[in-house]
Amino acid sequence: MCGIVGYIGVKEAKSIILEGLKELEYRGYDSAGFAIFNNNQATLFKAVGKLTNLVEKCKDFKTQGFSVAIGHTRWATHGKPTEANAHPHSGEATFVVHNGIIENYALLKEELIKKGFKFSSQTDTEVLVHLFEDELSRLSDPSKAFRAMIGRLEGAFAILLITKSEPDRIYFVKHGSPMIVGLAEDGEVHFASSDAPLIGYTREVVYLEDGMYGVATTNKLELHTLETDEVITPQFKRLPESKNFAQKEGFRYFMEKEIYEQHQVLIDTMMGRVVNQKISFDDEVSPSLFEGIDEIKICACGTSYHAALTASYLFERLAKIRTTSEIASEFRYKEPLLRPSTLFIVISQSGETADTLEALKMAKRAGLKTLAICNVDNSSIVREADATLLTRAGIEKGVASTKAFATQVAVLWMTALYLAQLRHSLPREKLETEINALRHIREVTKVTPTLHEKLKRLSKRYLHGHGFFFIGRDLFYPLALEGALKLKEISYLHAEGYPAGEMKHGPIALADSELFTIALMPKTLLYDKIKSNVEELSARDSTILAISPEPFELADDFITTHPHEHPMLEFFEMMVVIQLLSMEIAIRMGNDVDMPRNLAKSVTVE
């Protein structure tokens, strides 16, 4: 996930920017850079990889006296992690750093190329700098040009921009991505995309709100609203004092922060891939990867396996292609019969899971085409696979996977629809319905205070008992597996995920009031079937927590979800419910949910 810092003042600006970027390292990044105006000179440094590479590159550079500086850490989303794609992006005399997405960048880029602007990166961000300079040549006023530039943008963004003709100021805007600005006692101005880099420099900051833009100079902050251009008075708030607390952005655990940010990272996951009413993987995967393919096999471990299982339903249903999913550690030793007409997909958050990597190598040795769905670019799995779709979740610190799962399922759903386009397996209206639904996952994954409060209170009733069964049918069976895995890995309580229709074939023998059933009861998929399965458990006195948009009178506890037209929207909303429920139970049990016992984030051994 990208990070931004900015500075106006007389201290040594390079060190301040580098320290700020260091504070943002925890968010994950694969390149970094900064631009500084000092003594009428503009200096730009960028480097791929760790910050130490950037530090090494600029080791002989120092500022003296007054400077204006902007810096950035980039987690590759649009375009590979290369130096050209790293921020700041520069024009003739302007530098810009940006978090978020410019959804209409392709159109703007085309327009600017026609006007003669040359692009040197694959990013959406670069359009900003050329667009600004284009407006500047028309309006001859940087502040008007900045306002005009913002007016052309669609998407979510936080931007800092500096330009040579006004080397004493930073232009900024916030619209969907975070941005904070602080004034220090000596008149210095500091910007950052989260609290941590500001701690120690300023005490009082303004958390910019969406739709705010402006300009900062020494000891001065001018704020406007985008809607009316009116000047607004900055509202200062006190900064937290602990950096560790700040890195968690006010949340108790990284896992909690990661659950809350799912609706934001999904914007990145879909960026440039959901275009108008189509799925486009233009710069990432060639359609030829799917030529001659009559079957798909997906292989993964843990949570990633649950995403694989979800995909096997989606691929068969939407792309009408035979699909199976396998647990990588099983697949490796089963002497599988592999056919070259099978596309082999692996899914991994880390890209380093030993079993998944070995399964991928086996498939390659057997001559299969391979595709990786992964969160970490340049990881072993990404390097090994023929093609990759990055999930773009940003770094995931909590050992229990949450946003990685959400983004994997989103990418897999997009892949199923992409294949449906190639294979003409869906009528146009159905494809459009799917894509419209896909666009809504951002909304349904947003955590509301009411839901979280309810789950917090409910959790105290689920701290004992002799076990949990998460049950669901169809797409909600893999989600039930995921719910059970979440709960057991952080609460250390025994939990199983089960297909609801299978309970009567054995597990129902366990049913009594101390057996907790978490029933996933979507309204849009096999509702009556799952309802009767839950009734069977209720008749045996199992304690039922039903999650459904439809009231269910036999439930002991009930979480009401919103009614949706599409099962996947119910899926994503229920996913958030089971993640939060598991986390709240584990917190009540006194566990560190970020670092559960016996578990590692990346399992690089068999």
| Binding footprint of ligand M6R on the chain (CB under 6 A) | 301-304, 348-350, 353, 356, 399-401, 485, 489, 599, 602-603
Report yes or no: 346 and 381 within 8 Å, Cβ to Cβ.
Answer: yes
- Of 197 and 596, which CB lies nearer to ligand M6R in the complex structure? 596
**CA pair distance 369, 340, nearest whole angstrom:** 7
Nearest to 217 by CA among 150, 142, 148: 142
Report yes or no: 33 and 86 within 8 Å, Cβ to Cβ.
Answer: yes
Q: Kindly state the smallest distance separating residue 401's Cβ from ligand M6R, in Å.
A: 4
* CA distances in angstroms from 548 to 312, 518, 567, listed in the order given: 24, 11, 12
The CA-based angle 478-482-485, given to 5 degrees, is 140
First-last CA distance in the chain: 30
Looking at 187-245, which runs of residues are DSSP E strands? Answer: 189-192, 204-207, 212-217, 220-225, 231-232, 237-238
Burial tier of 553 (Cβ tally within 10 Å: 0-12, 13-18, 19+): exposed
Looking at 436-533, which runs of residues are DSSP E strands? Answer: 467-472, 495-499, 515-520
Q: Kindly state the smallest distance separating residue 356's Cβ from ligand M6R, in Å.
A: 5
246: tokens are 């700040």
476: tokens are 């909600």
- C-alpha dihedral (244, 269, 271, 430), degrees to nearest 10: -150
Q: Kindly state the smallest distance separating residue 389's Cβ from ligand M6R, in Å.
A: 14
Q: Is 237 a catalytic residue?
A: no
Q: Which residue type sits at 301? A: C
Q: Kindly state the smallest distance separating residue 602's Cβ from ligand M6R, in Å.
A: 6
Q: Kindly state the smallest distance separating residue 359's Cβ from ligand M6R, in Å.
A: 11
* CA distances in angstroms from 564 to 221, 270, 317, 372, 487, listed in the order given: 44, 20, 19, 31, 26
Collapse the DSSP code of 153 into the 3-class scheme (helix H, G, I; strand E, B; otherwise coil) and give the result. coil
- Of 5 and 301, which CB lies nearer to ligand M6R in the complex structure? 301
Q: Kindly state the smallest distance separating residue 596's Cβ from ligand M6R, in Å.
A: 8
**CA pair distance 450, 124, nearest whole angstrom:** 36
- Of 207 and 492, which CB lies nearer to ligand M6R in the complex structure? 492
Q: Kindly state the smallest distance separating residue 107's Cβ from ligand M6R, in Å.
A: 36
Report yes or no: 102 and 28 within 8 Å, Cβ to Cβ.
Answer: no
Q: Kindly state the smallest distance separating residue 483's Cβ from ligand M6R, in Å.
A: 11
Q: Kindly state the smallest distance separating residue 592's Cβ from ligand M6R, in Å.
A: 14
- Of 399 and 547, which CB lies nearer to ligand M6R in the complex structure? 399
Residues 6 or more apart in contact with residue 301 via CB below 8 angstroms? 327, 328, 329, 348, 353, 355, 356, 603
**CA pair distance 82, 455, nearest whole angstrom:** 43
Q: Which residue type sits at 21? A: L
**CA pair distance 359, 255, nearest whole angstrom:** 29
- Of 269 and 350, which CB lies nearer to ligand M6R in the complex structure? 350
- Of 77 and 348, which CB lies nearer to ligand M6R in the complex structure? 348
Q: Which residue type sits at 197? A: P
- Of 280 and 602, which CB lies nearer to ligand M6R in the complex structure? 602
- Of 390 and 525, which CB lies nearer to ligand M6R in the complex structure? 390
Of the residues 57, 164, 320, 601, only one is catalytic, namely 601
Q: Strands 495-499 and 557-560: what pairing? A: unpaired
**CA pair distance 530, 112, nearest whole angstrom:** 55
Q: Is 2 a catalytic residue?
A: yes
Tell the residue number behind the tokens 């794609």, with chain if given.
85
Count other Cβ atoms within 10 Å, centred on residue 544.
Answer: 22
- Of 435 and 484, which CB lies nearer to ligand M6R in the complex structure? 484
Q: Strands 155-163 and 31-38: what pairing? A: unpaired
DSSP 16: H
Q: Kindly state the smallest distance separating residue 367's Cβ from ligand M6R, in Å.
A: 24
Q: Strands 220-225 and 231-232: what pairing? A: antiparallel
238: Cα within 13 Å, side-chain hemisphere: 3
Q: Nearest to ligand M6R by Cβ — which residue?
A: 302
Of the residues 2, 58, 299, 374, only one is catalytic, namely 2
- Of 97 and 479, which CB lies nearer to ligand M6R in the complex structure? 479
- Of 5 and 399, which CB lies nearer to ligand M6R in the complex structure? 399
Which residues are marked as active site?
Answer: 2, 601
